[in-house]
A and B are shown apart, each in its own frame.
Chain A
Amino acid sequence: MKQRPKILLVDDDVDLVKVMSGALESKAYEVIVAYNGQEGLEKARKEKPDLVVLDILMPVADGFTFAAQFRKEPSLAKIPVLALTSFSESLGQPFPFEVTEYIVKPIKPRDLVAKVEGFLKRAETA
């Protein structure tokens, strides 16, 4: 793995993005931010992140649209995606696409960092 793993954060909530990226950067991750699915796709193609943290309900292109397209592109298909959903939206409800793991909101920035760390470690050893 590279020295500084690159995380793409796709979420439309500016306040959430601020604290999540702050927490991730404090662990020396390089954080790239996109505020909707469309922007997320463009940045993913350009930056080739090590991991994507993806919100589901977003304007322009939501998480479903993002992931469906994401999985179709050979250069991106293998990148792990952590999907963020709020409790009432999902609780065990299957997504119509493959995400690597999903996280139920609300999540503390600290817990998100722990999830990301654990995930990258597993990806590295796998």
Chain B
Amino acid sequence: MANKTQRYYRSLYEIAAAVNSVRIPEGVLDSMAKTVSEALEVKGCSVMILTADRKVLLHTAAYGLSDSYIRKGPVSADRSIAEALEGKPVAILNAAEDERVQYREQAKQEGIASMLSAPILFKGDVMGVIRVYAAKQHYFTRSETHFVQEVANLGAIALERAKELEQCFIEVDKLEEGRRQFVRFLSVVAHDLQSPLVATQSILSYIADGYTGEITDGQKDLLQRGIRRIDELLMLITDLLDIPRIEAGQLVREMQELSLNGVIKQAVVGLDNVARQKGIELKIELPESSPKVYASSRRLQQVLINLISNAINYTHDGMVRLRVKEYENEIAIEVIDTGIGIPPDELPKIFGDFFRGRNAGKKGTGLGLSISKRIIEAHGGKLWAESPCLETGIGSKFTFTLPKNGRLGQNPGRNESVQSLRVNN
């Protein structure tokens, strides 16, 4: 007897552990039916759930029963179940003859002699019935009945959690749809804000470049000023709209496996010219075999362009160096310059939105670094700065990390089939 009690406790413990696991595995009710059958050493066990109209029960999980028995049809709340549905376990000694049983003939064919049904109750609400089947006529003892009732109580929790989980999925779907609509909305806003500016700028350039006839230097200067102001506005719109786009997870859908060297090479196109014009050396040190990263190519390029052009901007002589370091779990990309550095009181603020340092020139929105930080963090990495660079004692060093072979979040799927662009240059 003690042995049996121990077995019941162990079984209850196992079922509770399964029910309690973070995610409800689909098979939790099936394994429950199995555990009960084995603990009681009976033919089988099934879990039946009431449909929404509460008139019919459906087999949701079963163990030890033939498919034909399980699929015999909808189980109406017969008297044996009705009693169980009232909240108390019901034992049937002879299922083939007891009038409270709906499918007596099928029970006989299945080799079922006795049955015990217990209600699955959650907060006083009946959700269904758990039923145990014995092949030989059997009087269910108090401890057996008690055990089955306890299992039913755990089953109720499992079902309730499954319901909550389903509700969560519905909520997640709604959020996803909202997010998609938001990103679509942003694209439209971006296009509608930019188009008139782009057209206006082209008209000004058209006049400034003399297509409409000779203009004076004074007129040309004013037109150039107008063009520059539109540039500022276009940059601001791009930056402002970038923030919600990154935060709405658009970036995650653009992520794919990339060769880091390739991304860096693409990003520095044009920047070496800018550096040369200032008389600065731009030194790009790439590892011999390129590390693989899981990233959005254009967003990573955006970060690299931002960091390198900042470095060039704040360096008047010397060099800007890009270096890649590989660690066990991450890759660090460092941009080191020999420039004027960052004043200590500004250093903690440089990643803030709209921050403009004392030494900043006229260009820029003060959003570049804050956007870069968001981009890197969306990739599961970190971005930080030191000034002066601890290694060289001068200038600044910006470092960002990316997880190695990191597959963050979900597979973007959709973008993977997109062909890459062929650029003939």
- Residues of chain A touching chain B, judged by Cβ–Cβ distance below 8 Å, are 13, 15-16, 18-20, 22-23, 26, 57, 86-102, 105-110, 122
Contacts and interface: CB of A to CB of B under 8 A. Distances in A.
Contacts of B419: 94, 96-98
B359 to A, nearest CB: 26
Contact of B205 (A90, A102, A110): A110
Interface stretch (B104-112, B294-302, B322-330): B294-302
Contacts of B209: 23, 108-110
Contact of B198 (A16, A18, A23): A16
Contacts of A13: 195, 198-199
A90 B190 CA distance: 12
Contacts of B203: 15, 18-19
Contact of B301 (A18, A91, A102, A105): A91
Interface residues of B, number: 37
**Which of B203, B205, B231, B254 lies at the interface centre, i.e. has the most chain A CB atoms within 10 A of its CB?**
B205
Contacts of A101: 423-425
B93 to A, nearest CB: 70
B298 A89 contact: no
B421 interface: yes
A86 B202 contact: no
Contacts of A19: 202-203, 205-206, 211
A7 to B, nearest CB: 16
B421 A94 contact: yes
A73 to B, nearest CB: 19
30 contacts: A13-B195, A15-B199, A15-B203, A16-B202, A19-B202, A22-B211, A23-B211, A86-B190, A86-B191, A86-B198, A91-B298, A92-B266, A93-B254, A94-B421, A95-B421, A98-B419, A99-B421, A100-B422, A100-B424, A102-B421, A105-B194, A105-B198, A106-B230, A107-B202, A108-B202, A108-B209, A109-B205, A109-B209, A110-B211, A122-B424
Contacts of B424: 100-101, 122
B198 to A, nearest CB: 4
A122 B201 CA distance: 29
A96 B422 CA distance: 11
Interface string B283-305: 00000000000000110011000
B30 interface: no
Interface in B210-226: 211
A59 to B, nearest CB: 11
Contacts of A95: 421
A87 B205 contact: no
Given A99-B422, A106-B230, 17 more contacts: A19-B202, A22-B211, A23-B209, A26-B211, A86-B191, A88-B237, A93-B298, A98-B419, A98-B421, A100-B424, A102-B421, A106-B201, A106-B231, A106-B234, A109-B205, A109-B209, A109-B211
Interface string B388-425: 00000000000000000000000000000011111111
Contacts of A91: 298, 301-302
Closest 6 pairs (CB-CB, A-B):
A92-B298, A108-B205, A19-B206, A15-B199, A94-B421, A106-B198
Contacts of A57: 191
